[in-house]
Amino acid sequence: MSVKILSITLLLLSVCVCCHSSEGTRHRHPARIPPCCPAVTKGNRTAEVVGQTYREQAARGRCVKAIIFNTKNGQLCADPEAQWVKDLTAKMRKE
């Protein structure tokens, strides 16, 4: 086998290995993992909520059970048992 063919083969093999290994780390990149709520707010913050959607978070590890709303300043982790949260999510489901 010539040196040129061997060099090209090794180069292509190296590129494939690099692409495959970087693909695995890309899926664990922190920016792609939804944030976890380690605590919730209990005070009524209805006025800060923007949009008509929310996300439910189950308790696991350091994450607590929460309802996550969007605000102008980012995400708001709210207590799912708080009455204002129940009222707001019910209203969002109707619309």
The pTM for the full model equals 0.62
How many structural domains are present in the chain?
Answer: 2
**pLDDT value at residue 42:** 83
- 53-79 pLDDT, tens digit each: 999 999 999 999 999 999 999 999 999
Task: Examine the domain organization and report whether 55 and 87 are in the same domain.
Answer: yes
Read off the DSSP letter of residue 22.
H
Domain that holds residue 65: 34-95
Mean pLDDT taken over the chain: 80
- The CATH number covering residue 55 comes to 2.40.50.40
Task: Give the pLDDT score at 21.
Answer: 44
For residues 71 and 91, membership in a common domain is answered with yes
